[in-house]
Amino acid sequence: MNPTTKHVAIYKMQGCGNDFVFIDNREYNVPVSHMSEWAQKICRRAFGVGADGLVFLEESDDTTLDYRWHFYNADGSRAEMCGNASRCAAKLAVQIGLAAPVHTFGTDAGPIRAEFCDDGEIKVELTPPQGLELQKPITLKDGDDEIHFVNTGVPHAVYVAENASALNVKELGALIRYHDMFSPAGTNANFMSVIDRENVHLRTYERGVEDETFACGTGAVAGVVVAHALGLTGTNVRVKSSGGEILSISIEGDSVFLKGKALVIYSGNAMLESLGLTLD
């Protein structure tokens, strides 16, 4: 780490509308103690670069991993996992010579296996879903209702609706995200309409972003896990996100796979002084 450094190289990426800033931390060695502040300032839209999250990639001490990441939400909170960011990480890691097209990297949720597909999309195998609970009674603004829950690396509540497009996701999402049922950590909140056994529409209010995002990979997986458990879908499902992009989810026994586009939008330099950041 060089405290005289005035800028850092960044990569702006998006996975189905979920956007992230990546930093190759092999070069800068930004300490973990600084990362939350960096995320808050870099991810702040209009005043920073603007993103749903900030990701640091670096070498791992674990010889079974090709590298590891540190993932932070836009509000500076550290997250165990992010599905769409994992696909972006895999794409960038190959581009910058950190890993081969098929590789495994470390997250706080556990190791993630990634591979490049023939159609140019990135496929990741997430950690096995945990803690599935169906038809949990919950009181929302219109009275008694029911919700489903599963942890797909991070916690996700899933609300099944006839028409997810008609819902006020920011309002309902905040109610569920901060509901006593999920305290103190809170949860991500997903709103899903089942179109048929192979297609669903899903909208997500993301914890840490505190708003609806254009897509959420772990949320898409959570929605399909719940839909399949309820007998509403099969094991291979296309999830249409708020941004109109498609994520493909496959359930194979205890394993769950997430596949979709991951794109580098631009690379450049973030000026540390302008952002109120330093490397010392």
Q: Establish how many alpha carbons lie within 13 A of residue 57's alpha carbon, considering only the half-sphere containing its beta carbon.
A: 28
Supply the pLDDT for residue 279: 86
SS3 state at 205? strand
Least Cα distance to 39 among 89, 88, 79, 81 occurs for 79
Task: Please say if 43 is a catalytic residue.
Answer: no
CATH fold match for the domains 7-125+263-275 and 130-253: yes
The answer to whether the annotation marks 213 as part of a ligand binding site is no
Structure tokens at 31: 């300490």
Indicate the domain borders of the chain. 7-125+263-275, 130-253
Instruction: Report pLDDT digits (tens) over 28-58.
Output: 999 999 999 999 999 999 999 999 999 999 9
**Has 207 been labeled as part of a binding site?**
yes
Round the average pLDDT of the chain to a whole number and report it: 96
State the maximum Cα–Cα separation within the chain, in Å, rounded to a whole number.
Answer: 58
pLDDT digits (tens, 9 = 90+) for 220-232: 999 999 999 999 9
Q: What is the pLDDT of residue 4?
A: 65
16, 43, 88, 216: the catalytic one is 216
DSSP strand E in the chain: where?
Answer: 7-15, 18-24, 53-58, 67-73, 102-107, 110-116, 122-126, 130-140, 143-151, 155-160, 188-196, 199-206, 211-213, 236-240, 246-252, 255-260, 263-271
**Cα(245)–Cα(224) distance, integer angstroms:** 16
For residue 224, what are its two tokens?
């399909």
pLDDT digits (tens, 9 = 90+) for 89-109: 999 999 999 999 999 999 999
- The answer to the question of whether 218 is labelled as a binding residue is yes
Q: Single out the catalytic residue among 16, 43, 82, 88.
A: 82
188 appears as a binding residue in the annotation: yes
For domain 130-253, give the fold. Answer: Diaminopimelate Epimerase; Chain A, domain 1 (3.10.310)
Identity of the residue numbered 149: F
Query: What is the CATH number assigned to the segment(s) 7-125+263-275?
Result: 3.10.310.10
CA distance 260 to 224: 15
